[in-house]
Structure formats: C-alpha cells, structure tokens
Amino acid sequence: QVQLVESGGGLAQAGGSLKLSCAASGHTSGFYTMAWFRQAPGKERAFVASITPSGDSNLDTDSVKGRFTIARGSARNTVYLQMNSLKPEDTAVYYCAALLKSLALQRTVDGYSYWGQGTQVTVSS
C-alpha cells in the first residue's frame, strides 16, 4: 500500500512561483511512475506531468509550455512540481498520483492506483 501527501499550495500572484511536494510512504514508492494532476472548478481532473523511476519526465506541453518542471527527490520517496510564471488559469486543486497501470493510460485519472488528498493553488491576476 502507498500513501501520498501533497503540500506547498497556497495563494500566489500572476507571474510568481510555487513548489509543490508529494511525500510518498511505502517501501516500493520509488520504483514506479508518479504524476501530478489538477482540477479546476467545473472542469475534469487533468494531467500535468509525470516522472518515471529512472527520472524521465513527461509534461503536458500545451498547458505547461515550459513553465513547470517535475522532479524526483534524491531519496526517491518525494516528487516535486516547480511552477513558474503562474497564471490565473493555473488555479486548481493539485493532486499527486502513483503507480501507473499502463503506458496507454499515462495521462488519465484511471491510469493510477493511488492518490493524495490534494493541495489548493490559487493564482490572482
């Protein structure tokens, strides 16, 4: 079993930066793909980024456009989402997910087995 806890959310101004953290517990937490999703009011939960056990990252290019970076901590039990040049459109609850079921489902909610409780990110104009 894997437990995920997000932190680092809050209120930021447009153009500012925030760094989200996802702490994972469980002895296998460092050996599978982990990802970040976000859900804005009235919208579906959407893929943001993922990272493999070896450190290879995958980003939603259309929404991120080079502003976000995902990284795994040196202990391999923590993943980060560095968000720069924040926009009001980035306002959402951000969720950490783990254990990819299939490569074909990498960018879908149904593709992951474990989820954190979420952390709110609000960006003012």
pLDDT tens, position by position, 54-88: 888 888 877 887 899 999 888 778 899 999 999 99
Question: Cα(106)–Cα(99) distance, rounded to whole angstroms?
Answer: 10
Under 8 Å between Cβ of 99 and 114: yes
pLDDT on residue 43: 95
pLDDT in tens, 21-35: 999 888 665 567 899
Using the predicted structure, report yes or no on whether residue 110 has a pLDDT greater than 70: yes
Measure the CA–CA gap between 78 and 25, rounded to whole angstroms.
9
Amino acid at 115: W
Average of pLDDT values for 77-105? Answer: 92
Residue 46, pLDDT score: 95
Average pLDDT over residues 115-119: 96
Q: Please name which of 53, 91, 90, 94 lies closest in space to residue 73, comparing C-alpha atoms.
A: 53
Q: What is the average pLDDT score of the chain?
A: 90
